[in-house]
Amino acid sequence: MTAIERSQLTVRSPADLIAAVPYLLGFHPTDSVVAVALLGRQIIFAARADLPEPSTDPAERARHLAGVIRRQGAESATVVGYGSADRVTPAVDAVRVALAAGGTEVLDALRVTEGRWWSYLCAEPDCCPPEGRRYDPSANPVTASAVFAGQVALPDRAALVAQVAPVDGPPREAVRAATARAELRITELIEQAPESDLLGGRALRSAGVAAVRAAHRRQRRDERLDDDEVAWLSLLMTHLPVRDHAWERTDGRDRDIALWTDVLRRAEPELIAAPGALLAFAAWRAGQGALAAVALERTLSLHPDYSLAVLLDDLLRRGVPPSELDGWPSVGMPGVLRPRRRSRRGRR
């Protein structure tokens, strides 16, 4: 399941809502059921799940989807299914029942297939003809508003996954060589630490803080880290105090997402846990739940017990909105997230 929270878009018709969904998700959905939460006429949230297999009961997935929507404080919701009628109808019906049971008004329930939409709740042939109503999202004002707001709709979820996929070929070999150099550098750093610095912990943290700050400076100047910088940073972030320092300075800014996406793609597989979790956190804070989800999928596939990734995966699956985090993380025990007082810099 993917949950998202993005810039508010105003909808006035089913065609408006259908045009908005890909920009809310970040990609054009297929074989999916989407629940869109609204306050008045404004979309505030959307949650997506794959259509259940025909042999499975859709009720459990529907209850979870409805629970995610309820947590957003929405007044109402519309359910949209993408795919053939035999698969969409049971899923949409189950979500409608689950939403209504939780007290959420269901404004409409739609099926979208091959450029047409049908309503399960409208029986007026002038409004909702039995052959469906054709729509053109490229001509819809909601699409123009989303594009103007900087929102992107990729062709499909696979395109989103590709954004966090590892580099290969010569770039991979270059980072692998840089990582070997960074390992020697780490060894020298620890060996040269004073005896009072147990296991070189202070030296590692000092080097890590410097590496994080340097990475942020490069990002602010729109400069990409070189291979040695990626290797050094990703290796230092296996030291939890360094990871936590980077986490405290990560929010939902575009430059945070760009930095951790780049490091995640280029770091060696054994070193992706911290950058992958930080990308997921930044994407979640920015309301880009789909990007957060694919970052976590890649991270947890290689590091299933990494505590920060596990924590964020739970927040995302439960549909906890970023607005519940007052400010950015105050880190106590490693992997423990707690809110702290709002900064003067102003967070939503």
Write the pLDDT tens digit of every residue in 286-298: 888 899 999 999 9
Query: Which pLDDT belongs to residue 348?
Result: 35
Query: Which pLDDT belongs to residue 334?
Result: 42
Q: pLDDT tens for residues 63-107?
A: 999 999 988 888 899 999 999 999 999 999 999 999 999 999 999
Which range (41-50, 218-227, 237-246) has the least confidence? 41-50
Query: Which pLDDT belongs to residue 87?
Result: 95
Q: pLDDT tens for residues 122-153?
A: 988 888 899 999 988 888 888 888 877 777 88
Query: Which pLDDT belongs to residue 36?
Result: 93
CA 241-204-164 angle, 5° bins: 65
Percent of the chain with pLDDT over 90: 65
Question: Mapping DSSP to helix (H, G, I), strand (E, B) and coil, where does residue 238 land?
Answer: coil
Average pLDDT over residues 14-22: 90
Is residue 14 within 8 A of residue 119, CB to CB? The reply is yes
- C-alpha–C-alpha distance, residues 7 and 251, integer Å: 16
Look at 318 and 242; give whichever has higher pLDDT.
242
Query: Which pLDDT belongs to residue 257?
Result: 96
Q: What is the mean pLDDT of the chain?
A: 88
Query: Which pLDDT belongs to residue 138?
Result: 83
Q: Is the pLDDT of residue 229 over 70?
A: yes
Average pLDDT over residues 188-204: 88
Q: pLDDT tens for residues 300-334?
A: 999 999 999 999 999 998 888 887 765 555 544 44
Query: Which pLDDT belongs to residue 346?
Result: 37
What residues does each domain of the chain span?
2-154, 163-338
- Six-digit token string for 255: 């430059």
Per DSSP, helices labelled H in the chain are: 14-25, 59-70, 85-101, 141-148, 157-162, 170-191, 201-220, 227-236, 240-248, 254-266, 273-285, 289-302, 307-317
Query: Which pLDDT belongs to residue 343?
Result: 41
Q: Is the pLDDT of residue 277 over 50?
A: yes
Is residue 153 within 8 A of residue 24, CB to CB? The reply is no
CATH superfamily of 2-154: Cytidine Deaminase, domain 2 (3.40.140.10)
Task: Work out the pLDDT band at 3, boundaries 50, 70, 90.
Answer: low
What sign results for the dihedral spanned by CA atoms 336, 339, 342, 346?
A: positive
Query: Which pLDDT belongs to residue 149?
Result: 74
Is residue 9 within 8 A of residue 272, CB to CB? The reply is no
Query: Which pLDDT belongs to residue 13?
Result: 87
Query: Which pLDDT belongs to residue 142?
Result: 84
Look at 246 and 322; give whichever has higher pLDDT.
246
Look at 344 and 7; give whichever has higher pLDDT.
7
- C-alpha–C-alpha distance, residues 143 and 21, integer Å: 10
Query: Which pLDDT belongs to residue 204?
Result: 94
Look at 59 and 322; give whichever has higher pLDDT.
59
Q: Is the pLDDT of residue 263 over 70?
A: yes
Query: Which pLDDT belongs to residue 286?
Result: 87
